[in-house]
């Protein structure tokens, strides 16, 4: 009877005919389009020839009286507003869903049932363009629209806004030697290693399979980097083989010089810092390995990278900027490891950043810290001090609402043979500093009182660092108090990525614990705004068709301030 229909269409008629009442007829609220193609045969449950056109999956929905909607919604069909358009096509049976957000996410965010009101359906449909082009052209248009979300630039300086507009118009020029200011942009971006994606596929169940292939993802990531056009890139989860074969050469063609440090374990990804050679020259590159074979605590393979860069076209030849990048351990129950890794990174920065006059040069620290705003680890970075006495290791990063790691942090956290003091500097450097300032202990054997003092210092539960750091982002939208989000997948949507910087005194108040002087600092001129979890689920979370990592890129513009 239906020999001219494809078999899957015939099955569709047989499978769903039982759900239809003979007196209920599928109808259309708009006239038949001239571009519509008509099937020669049609199933008996349709009282008119079945129209077949360009976007069945986007423009057709069973009417409200249709019974088992939940069962049909969970199938591979994507149905949307049949009442607003008569122009559609029947998809191939192997087509996947267009990737709407998981039902649990939808219910949690909206607090309502999954069914939408007729008014909502009408408004949604009015936003869609019904194309009568070929199926391939229509799907390409649909793909280019879906997953797009706007992020605006937030200015903190009117001059920055003027310069950015001029740059977009092509009239902006880099700072020259006669100018007293040096402005530059820094991006931090976890680009999602392909190996880690495949090892943790349960985090990406909401994504269509083709969006997860590296051949699809890399062009999107590269396009984001091109469009944002940062002067310094701090990238995490950079897979070594992709870096060697594609990423490095692609970024070099855009004018970047690249430095890379791969993790020390079996997972072949790492951190990269890339900078525009037109803006900076490299003074030194310093990789940091957090794995120590002789220290059981440090059995993880995370790494960091610290670069010392010299700005070009600047009035002071001695000017330098320290850029650090890291990806700390994820495990929410190992706050002891996270704090030790952070201390090792800070010690390396303290070793690289000092200038000839003894002050620190301006510092920018980027990365995925696997810690949420307000957590003890976060507060330690911003405030410069942390008393961890009685602190459970599962509460250090704040990743879990009900932490499972209840063991209390030991005092001290790391062993003495690591060679890093509680002030997060290399102890050799600390000794040299004490010698230079006349604070060296007497060569003679100390008496019992001195031994007690030294022992108490070693057993102190107070961590410190001597950097005056601020966060580029405020982590909450001031108007609503809703949290900003830097990563979003099937399991969670939180902030774990940061850009910290040493702020000039006129930019923010000095942070506690920042006793050491700085050679000027950085003024925050602007930042690329972040989004809420609800915003991201409107485009099906991350990754999606246009954003190919499960993290958002962070971007800030700074001005170098010198004293």
Q: Which pLDDT score is estimated for 490?
A: 96
Strands 256-262 and 269-276, sheet pairing: antiparallel
pLDDT for the residue 512: 40
**CA distances (Å), origin 78, targets 93, 264, 546, 552:** 12, 44, 20, 27
What is the pLDDT, as a whole number, of residue 184?
A: 98
pLDDT above 90 (res 5):
no
Report the residue count for the chain. 563
The pLDDT, as a whole number, for residue 30 is: 41
pLDDT of 241 reads: 98
Among 16-25, 103-112, 422-431, 545-554, the range of highest mean pLDDT: 545-554
Of 175, 274, 181, nearest to 228 by C-alpha is 274
Angle at 208 between CA 126 and CA 138, to 5 degrees: 40
Output the pLDDT for position 286.
98
Which residue, 372, 379, 377, is CA-closest to 483? 372
Is residue 389 scored above 90 in pLDDT?
yes
With both helix axes pointing from N to C terminus, report the angle between 335-352 and 376-383 in degrees, rounded to the nearest 10.
20
> Which neighbouring-strand residues pair with 447?
none
Please, what is the average pLDDT of the chain? Answer: 76
Question: Rounded mean pLDDT of 483-490?
Answer: 98
Which pLDDT score, from 0 to 100, does residue 404 have? 82
Q: In 3-state terms, what secondary structure has residue 14? A: helix
Residue 92 confidence (pLDDT) above 50: no
The pLDDT tens digits of the residues spanning 345-367 come to 999 999 999 998 889 999 999 99
The pLDDT, as a whole number, for residue 271 is 99
- Burial status of residue 126 (CB atoms within 10 A of its CB: 0-12, 13-18, 19 or more): exposed
Task: Kindly report, residue by residue over 251-266, the tens digit of the pLDDT.
Answer: 999 999 999 999 999 9
Residue 14: the pLDDT is 47
Residue 475: pLDDT over 90: yes
pLDDT tens per residue, range 281-317: 999 999 999 999 999 999 999 999 999 999 998 667 6
Q: Which two tokens stand for residue 516?
A: 């050491």
Q: Which segment of 148-162, 240-254, 415-429 scores lowest on mean pLDDT? A: 148-162
**Which residue, 246, 187, 236, is CA-closest to 214?**
246
pTM of the model: 0.71
Burial (CB < 10 A; 0-12, 13-18, 19+), residue 115, is: exposed
Q: 60 with 106: CB under 8 angstroms? A: no
Confidence band (pLDDT; 50, 70, 90) for 550?
very high
Judge whether residue 8 has pLDDT over 80: no
First vs last C-alpha separation in the chain: 87
% of the chain exceeding 70 in pLDDT:
61
Give pLDDT, residue 450. 46
At residue 36, the pLDDT reads 40
Least confident stretch, 65-69, 324-328, 503-507: 65-69
Distance (Å, whole) CA 83 – CA 46: 16
Residue 126 — pLDDT band, cuts 50, 70, 90? very low
Give the model's confidence band at 434: pLDDT under 50 very low, under 70 low, under 90 confident, else very high.
low
529 band by pLDDT with thresholds 50, 70 and 90? very high
Structure tokens at 466: 């001597």
pLDDT at position 112:
46
Taking the CA atoms of residue 17, residue 18, residue 19 and residue 24 in that order, the dihedral angle to the nearest 10 degrees is 60
Helix (H) or strand (E) holding 252: helix 248-253
pLDDT band at 142 (very low <50, low <70, confident <90, very high): very low
Indicate whether 39 pLDDT > 90: no
Q: Predicted confidence band at 562 (pLDDT cuts at 50, 70, 90)?
A: confident
Model pLDDT, residue 390: 96
* Res 403: pLDDT: 84
Mean pLDDT of 132-146: 42
Of 523, 559, 522, 486, nearest to 192 (Cα)? 486
> Do 488 and 533 touch, CB atoms closer than 8 A?
yes
Interatomic CA distance for residues 381 and 174, integer angstroms: 32
Q: Which of 120-134, 357-371, 412-426 has the lowest mean pLDDT?
A: 120-134
Q: Where are the alpha helices (DSSP H) in 190-247?
A: 194-199, 214-228, 240-242
φ, ψ of residue 404 in degrees (nearest 5): -90, -20
Residue 32 reports pLDDT greater than 50? no
Structure tokens at 119: 């008014």
pLDDT higher than 50, residue 538: yes
Say whether pLDDT at 468 is over 70: yes
Model pLDDT for residues 170-191, shown as the tens digit of each residue? 444 444 444 468 999 999 999 9
Question: What's the farthest any 2 CA atoms get from each other in the chain?
Answer: 106
Where residue 505 falls among pLDDT bands split at 50, 70, 90?
confident
139 has a pLDDT exceeding 90: no
197 closest CA partner among 555, 550, 557: 550
Query: What is the Rg, in whole angstroms, of the alpha carbon atoms belonging to the chain?
Result: 29
**Does residue 145 register a pLDDT over 80?**
no
pLDDT at site 432: 62
181/559 Cα distance (integer angstroms): 7
**At the topology level of CATH, where does 180-423+461-506+520-562 sit?**
Deoxyribonuclease I; Chain A (3.60.10)
Closest CA to 558 of 280, 236, 149, 178: 280
Which residue do the tokens 């790691």 mark? Answer: 405
d(CA 60, CA 479): 38
Kindly report which listed range (32-36, 144-148, 389-393, 457-461) carries the lowest average pLDDT score.
32-36
Q: Phi/psi zone of residue 390: left (φ > 0), alpha (ψ -120 to 50 degrees), beta?
A: left
pLDDT of residue 4 exceeding 70, the answer is no
């Amino acid at each position: 009877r239906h020999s001219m229909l494809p078999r899957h269409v015939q099955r569709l008629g047989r499978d769903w005919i039982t759900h239809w009442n003979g007196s209920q007829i599928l109808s259309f609220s708009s006239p038949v389009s001239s571009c519509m193609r008509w099937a020669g045969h049609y199933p008996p449950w349709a009282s008119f020839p079945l129209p077949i056109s360009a976007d069945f999956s986007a423009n057709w929905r069973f009417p409200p009286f249709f019974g088992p909607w939940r069962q049909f919604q969970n199938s591979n069909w994507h149905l949307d507003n049949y009442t607003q358009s008569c122009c559609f096509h029947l998809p191939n049976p192997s087509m996947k869903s267009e990737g709407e957000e998981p039902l649990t996410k939808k219910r949690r965010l909206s607090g309502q049932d999954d069914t939408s009101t007729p008014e909502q359906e009408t408004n949604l449909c009015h936003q869609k363009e019904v194309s009568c082009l070929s199926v391939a052209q229509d799907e390409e248009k649909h793909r280019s629209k879906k997953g797009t979300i706007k992020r605006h630039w937030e200015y903190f300086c009117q001059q920055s806004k003027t310069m950015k507009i001029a740059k977009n118009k092509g009239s902006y020029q880099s700072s020259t030697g006669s100018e007293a200011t040096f402005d530059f942009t820094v991006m931090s971006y976890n680009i999602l290693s392909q190996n880690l994606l495949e090892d943790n596929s349960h985090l990406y169940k909401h994504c269509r399979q083709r969006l997860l292939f590296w051949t699809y993802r890399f062009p999107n990531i590269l396009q984001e980097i091109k469009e944002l056009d940062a002067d310094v890139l701090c990238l995490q989860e950079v897979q070594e083989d992709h870096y060697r074969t594609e990423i490095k050469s692609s970024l070099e063609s855009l004018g970047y010089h690249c430095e890379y440090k791969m993790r020390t374990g079996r997972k072949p990804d790492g951190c990269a810092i890339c900078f525009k050679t037109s803006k900076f020259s490299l003074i030194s590159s310093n990789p940091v390995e957090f794995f120590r074979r002789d220290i059981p605590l440090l059995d993880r393979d995370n790494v960091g990278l610290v670069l010392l860069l010299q700005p070009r076209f600047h009035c002071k030849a001695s000017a330098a900027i320290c850029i650090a990048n890291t990806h700390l351990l994820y495990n929410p129950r190992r706050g002891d490891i996270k704090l030790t890794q952070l201390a090792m990174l800070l010690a390396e920065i303290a070793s690289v950043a000092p200038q000839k006059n003894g002050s620190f040069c301006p510092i920018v620290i980027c990365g995925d810290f696997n810690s949420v705003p307000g957590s003890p680890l976060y507060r330690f970075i911003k405030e410069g001090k942390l008393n961890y006495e009685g602190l459970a290791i599962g509460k250090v990063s704040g990743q879990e609402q009900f932490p499972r790691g209840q063991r209390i942090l030991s005092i001290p956290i790391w062993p003495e043979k690591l060679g890093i003091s509680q002030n997060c500097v290399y102890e050799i450097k600390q000794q040299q500093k004490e010698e230079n300032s006349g604070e060296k202990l007497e060569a003679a054997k100390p008496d019992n009182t001195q031994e007690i003092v030294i022992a108490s210092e070693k057993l102190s539960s107070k961590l410190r660092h001597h950097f005056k750091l601020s966060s580029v982002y405020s982590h909450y939208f001031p108007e609503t108090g809703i949290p900003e989000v830097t990563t979003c997948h099937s399991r969670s949507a939180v902030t774990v990525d940061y850009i910290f910087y040493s702020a000039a005194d006129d930019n923010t108040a000095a942070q506690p614990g920042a006793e050491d002087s700085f050679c000027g600092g950085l003024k925050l001129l602007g930042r690329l705004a972040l989004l809420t979890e609800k915003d991201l689920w409107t485009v099906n979370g991350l990754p999606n068709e246009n954003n190919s990592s499960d993290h958002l890129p962070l971007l800030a513009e700074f001005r170098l301030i010198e004293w």
